Amino acid sequence: MSKDPKKEKDIKKETLVGLKNKQVSENMKSEDLYLQRAFEDMEADLSLPSDEIFHRICTRIIHEEEENPVKENIKKAEGLGAGLLERIRGLFNCPSLAWGFCAAQFVVFVFAFFMLNSSKPRFETMSYGQNSNHKQVFNVIFKKNVKFEDVVSFLQKHHMIINGPLGKDLFVIEIKNKKDIEGLKKSGILEFMEKAY
């Protein structure tokens, strides 16, 4: 076994460094354990009125739930949609917001009322409304050989003469129902019939 003094010195040095590191590491470990023990001791020494505090917590929770049931409903509501609905509902629980909403609705109603009943000048043609109410107006010419009584009795049933006789014995008549138009066509008393506009 060769005894190289330099090598021997190096080995000694490495061993010492290793031992020192080991010592430091062990010190650190024991330091951490020591800290842990100190903390454990401190926790054990604590005096805490646990029951009294728990009672206080419960009272506060009950009080808050009573004061704000909406929050509780939000908590219970499952899903975002339900939560959102509860929040909207919650807005109406706030008196100032509820009154604000009523006032806004009132303004909308008043505005709509005035819009509908605004007295804007309206311009209408002379014939405006004549063709309204689904009544139809026709220009007709009766046959020459038709008796006057037949014409009168026919017209008295459902029709009304609006104008006439005009040139070429043209009458303007109003017919209320579609069926009567067909009846008039089939009656055989008309020479000519066309829709008037």
Query: CA 51 to CA 12: how far, in whole Å?
Result: 63
List binders of another protein among 62-81 (CB under 8 A). Answer: 64, 71, 75-76
Distances (CA, A) of 138 to 118, 123, 173: 36, 26, 5
Query: CA 68 to CA 133: how far, in whole Å?
Result: 59
Distances (CA, A) of 28 to 32, 38, 88: 6, 15, 58
Per rule CB under 8 A, count of chain residues that contact another protein: 30
Query: CA 148 to CA 142: how far, in whole Å?
Result: 10
Q: By C-beta, is 83 or 164 nearer to another protein?
A: 83
Binding of another protein at residue 50 (CB under 8 A)? yes
Tell me which stretch binds another protein (CB under 8 A): 5-13, 24-32, 115-123, 177-185: 24-32
CB 86 to another protein: min, Å? 13
Binding of another protein at residue 39 (CB under 8 A)? yes
For residue 133, is it left (φ>0), alpha (ψ between -120 and 50) or beta?
left
Which of 8, 31, 169, 194 forms a contact with another protein (CB under 8 A)? 31
CB 38 to another protein: min, Å? 4
Contacts of 29 (CB under 8 A, 6+ apart): none
CB 87 to another protein: min, Å? 15
Binding of another protein at residue 32 (CB under 8 A)? yes
Interface residues with another protein (CB under 8 A) are: 24, 27-28, 30-32, 34-43, 46, 48-50, 53-54, 56-57, 60-61, 64, 71, 75-76
